[in-house]
Amino acid sequence: MRKPFVAGNWKMNKTSAQGVALVNELLPAIIGYDRVERVVCPSYLAVPAVSARLQGSPVGVGTQDLYWETSGAYTGEVAPDMVKEFCQYVIIGHSERRAKFGETDESVNKKVKAALAAGLVAIMCVGETLEENEAGQTEAVVSRQVREGLNGLVTAAMENVVIAYEPVWAIGTGRAASAEGANAVIKDFIRKPVAALFDEKTAQSVRVLYGGSVTGANAREFFSQPDIDGALVGGASLKPVDFTAIVAAAAER
Ligand code: PEP
């Protein structure tokens, strides 16, 4: 049985003081849902304060990116060990990084490997754009992102990988995918390539999330699908009531 997983991507929101205020409100509400792996991902500068506040709690902390080199002349970048000092998780290959900051399948793959080498859980995002979707390219794009993102990993490393299917057209738009449609993509274009890369057991045990306009109101529908193990949540993760409802829905899975 795959443990349900809900992660909040705060994107470029919340100073450290605001982030601590958010978790002060959130923590008492979600602390009891032990069936669910719960994670918040603040921006880099808010991570130390939020991580200190969550120390000893069951809620994990992640960053929204990292760089694959361990140290050196990479102005503006953050190394895996620097993330590991405060975090257990890292989001890699978010569509906003792919679209706005030149992230490629190759850089995603380097980052996933570096995250795993540092002992982090990598939440690797994949998903097609609206144009790709309308051109019937969803399978080609998503399965390629899975294959290339996970290229060269050993099977055992997959225990520390979570894949998030985030159709780009559903992120921040209020236009979520249908639960059945998301499940079909995850089953056929994510789990199948994982089986081809590794084996069927890994394909069935790797956790796969849906992300894209998940709210307290629609989360249950997604989590009732057999191949959806949780959610990567953007906008609603900044609203304690909504995020709590999503965690509560995941706990019923
Ligand atoms: C995201 O940023 O990963 C995301 C899914 O955003 P939203 O929930 O706001 O669509």
Q: What is the pLDDT of residues 17-35, one digit of tens each?
A: 999 999 999 999 999 999 9
> 79 C-alpha vs ligand 1 centroid, how far in Å?
24
- The answer to whether 165 and 185 have CB atoms below 8 angstroms apart is yes
- Give residue limits of the domains in the chain: 5-251
CA of 234 to the centre of ligand 1 (A): 3
**Catalytic positions, please?**
94, 166
Cβ atoms within 10 Å of 175's Cβ, excluding its own:
12
With 0.95 as the threshold, say if the pTM is over it: yes
Residue % of the chain over a pLDDT of 90: 100
Mean pLDDT by 10 residues, the chain (253 residues): 96 98 98 98 98 98 98 98 98 98 98 98 98 98 98 98 98 97 98 98 98 98 98 98 98 95
Pocket-forming residues, ligand 1, beta carbon under 6 Å = 9, 11, 166, 171-172, 211-214, 232-236
CATH fold for the domain made of 5-251: TIM Barrel (3.20.20)
d(CA 43, CA 13): 7
| Three-state DSSP state, 134 | helix
Q: Residue 61, class by beta-carbon neighbours within 10 Å (0-12 exposed, 13-18 middle, 19+ buried)?
A: buried
